[in-house]
Structure formats: C-alpha cells, structure tokens
Amino acid sequence: QVQLVESGGGLVQPGGSLRLSCAASGSIFNINAMAWYRQAPGKERELVAVRPSVGITNYADSVKGRFTISRDNAKNTVYLQMNSLKPEDTAVYYCNANINLRWMGPSNDYWGQGTQVTVSS
C-alpha cells in the first residue's frame, strides 16, 4: 500500500557532497515524522536525522553541521543533504516515515529499500 523509494546514493570522495531523496507513495492520509537512518557493515542501524511534521529537527551528533534534512510535504518527499562527507559516513542509508493510512487510524513505520553511500578516495 505504501512505498518509499530512495535515490541519490553513490561513491564520493572525502569532503564531497551527496543529496539523498525519498518519495513516499500509496494510500497515504498523513505523514508524521520522516527520518533517515544508516547502517554500516557490522554495526547496528542508527538514526541520522529526523524531521517531524511539527517540532524540532534532530540530528545525530556525528552529522551535526554537515547534514541537513528537509521535507517537501506536497510531494511526500524527504531529502538529506550531506556535505563534508567522511569515510565513516559510509553505510546503507534508509528512509523511514511514520504514516497514517486513514483519518483517526493508527500510524505505522515504513522503510525504504536502502541506498548505498560510499565515501572513499
């Protein structure tokens, strides 16, 4: 019913930039928070940034000042602008959205398929 489709990953040199996009589609009534997570090899998935529908945007300490999360509510899309990339940012990045499918219905978390970001010279 709901799909999250990510794009924008790839290979970039240290100090470079990438912009990830994630578009939600399907029978969506309302999207609450949208977020980006990442998972590096051998590590647990971690929160990178979260953008609520209202309220304060939060970032992991490791990306503060370098990454920016933004939303286009008209397009049901969330972006992650990543600047000054470091090798330790290498991971699979996942989009997450908390979505209501109907008015007064419960909200559920949905995930994208993941997009690989590799920072290497």
Q: What is the pLDDT of residues 62-90, one digit of tens each?
A: 999 999 999 999 999 999 999 999 999 99
What does pLDDT average to over the chain? 96
Query: Residues 57-66: pLDDT tens digits?
Result: 999 999 999 9
When pLDDT is averaged across residues 19-25 and rounded to a whole number, the result is 97
What is the pLDDT, as a whole number, of residue 90? 98
Query: What is the Cα–Cα distance from 66 to 82, expressed in whole angstroms?
Result: 6
How high is the pLDDT of residue 5?
A: 96
What's the Cα-to-Cα distance from 22 to each of 6, 63, 69, 94, rounded to whole Å?
A: 4, 19, 11, 9
Does pLDDT of 1 surpass 90? Answer: no
Residues 6+ apart with CB under 8 A from 56: none
> What's residue 92's pLDDT?
98
**Amino acid letter, residue 86:** K
